[in-house]
């Protein structure tokens, strides 16, 4: 973990000193603000018969939660290693007295911190609802835990993708394709009859994942899947960076 904090601060500064993070955060909050306003308007209607409320709907029952993740996570991670390799600064980084694990975790940690900052203002949406009615804060907390788990796994896949190419565009496309593949496989829970195939698809499905967390259900199996989606890609990234270091 040697050199973690120095690289973490460098990566975080690099994200926020350029327009990338600000553009992503602004666009994300505009989309989610419109998303939340639409849901609140629908649930406020006298003829609304939808189950649940605006909070479970916001955190797991519409595509406007998942589609931004397919763009935001790849774009946050596309430059972490690809840009270093393209510009030639990776050689200086790898010959410095910095541990490989520290390099990978610092770059990943900066992207994850930005993801958390991106979601933080959405707490204001819940605060506005709390002023007009009762809010299940346990469900709110578990919903944010579910979002954090999804984001952590998706950013780890993006970090691995960036380590596999010298092109930021290729890294973003590779990461987006993997995330889309996960989402597509997850849709199998709606296509298959009850059985092993449906159970596997439901376990992988981001939709089922957030349906549980938004209802206040913290399933250990979901957390294990999130941890696996973080650990395996980051381990692969460490081995890839080690391969560059030792030729």
* pLDDT tens profile 147-202: 999 999 999 999 999 998 888 899 999 999 999 999 999 888 888 888 888 889 98
CA distances in angstroms from 40 to 35, 124, 146, 241, listed in the order given: 9, 14, 21, 47
pLDDT band with cut points at 50, 70 and 90 for residue 47: very low
- Residues 34/15, Cβ–Cβ less than 8 Å: no
Question: Residues 48-54: what's their mean pLDDT?
Answer: 60
Question: Residues 14-22: what's their mean pLDDT?
Answer: 86
Q: Domain count of the chain?
A: 1
Q: What pLDDT is stored for residue 247 in this prediction?
A: 62
Of 38-47, 74-83, 226-235, where does mean pLDDT reach its minimum?
Answer: 38-47
pLDDT exceeds cutoff 50 at 237: yes
- Residues 152/116, Cβ–Cβ less than 8 Å: no
Q: Over the stretch 93-113, which tens digit does the pLDDT of each residue have? A: 766 677 888 889 999 999 999
In the structure encoding, which two tokens stand for residue 113, read together?
Answer: 């911190």
Measured in degrees and rounded to the nearest 5, phi and psi for residue 46 equal -70, -25
Q: What is the length of the chain?
A: 247
Domain that residue 37 falls in? 4-246
pLDDT band with cut points at 50, 70 and 90 for residue 241: confident
Chain center to CA of 42: 27
Measured in degrees and rounded to the nearest 5, phi and psi for residue 123 equal -60, -30
Q: What pLDDT is stored for residue 191 in this prediction?
A: 81
Question: Residues 34-47: what's their mean pLDDT?
Answer: 77
Within 10 Å of residue 91's Cβ, how many Cβ atoms?
12
Within 10 Å of residue 161's Cβ, how many Cβ atoms?
27
pLDDT exceeds cutoff 70 at 12: yes
pLDDT exceeds cutoff 50 at 49: no
| DSSP-H helix ranges across the chain | 4-17, 19-44, 54-58, 63-77, 82-87, 90-95, 100-119, 123-130, 137-163, 168-186, 188-191, 196-204, 206-214, 220-246
Most confident of 80-94, 134-148, 186-200: 134-148
């Amino acid at each position: 973990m040697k050199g973690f904090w120095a690289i973490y601060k460098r990566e975080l500064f690099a994200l926020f000193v350029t327009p990338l993070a600000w553009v992503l955060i602004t666009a994300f909050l505009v989309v989610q603000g419109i998303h939340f306003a639409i849901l609140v308007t629908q649930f406020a209607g006298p003829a609304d018969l939808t189950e649940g409320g605006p909070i479970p709907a916001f955190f797991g029952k519409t595509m406007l939660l998942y589609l931004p993740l397919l763009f935001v996570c790849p774009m946050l991670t596309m430059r972490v290693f690809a840009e270093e390799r393209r510009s030639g600064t990776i050689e200086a980084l790898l010959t410095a007295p910095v541990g490989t694990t520290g390099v990978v975790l610092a770059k990943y940690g900066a992207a994850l911190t930005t993801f958390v900052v991106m979601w933080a203002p959405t707490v204001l949406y819940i605060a506005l609802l709390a002023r007009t009615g009762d809010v299940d804060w346990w469900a709110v907390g578990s919903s944010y835990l579910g979002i954090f788990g999804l984001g952590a796994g998706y950013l780890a896949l993006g970090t691995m993708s960036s380590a596999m190419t010298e092109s930021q565009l290729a890294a973003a496309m590779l990461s987006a394709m993997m995330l889309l593949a996960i989402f597509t496989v997850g849709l199998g829970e709606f296509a298959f009859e009850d059985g092993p195939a449906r159970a596997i698809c439901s376990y992988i499905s981001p939709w089922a994942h957030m349906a549980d967390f938004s209802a206040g259900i913290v399933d250990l199996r979901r957390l294990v899947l999130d941890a696996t989606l973080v650990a395996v890609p980051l381990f692969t990234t460490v081995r890839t960076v080690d391969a560059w270091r030792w030729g």
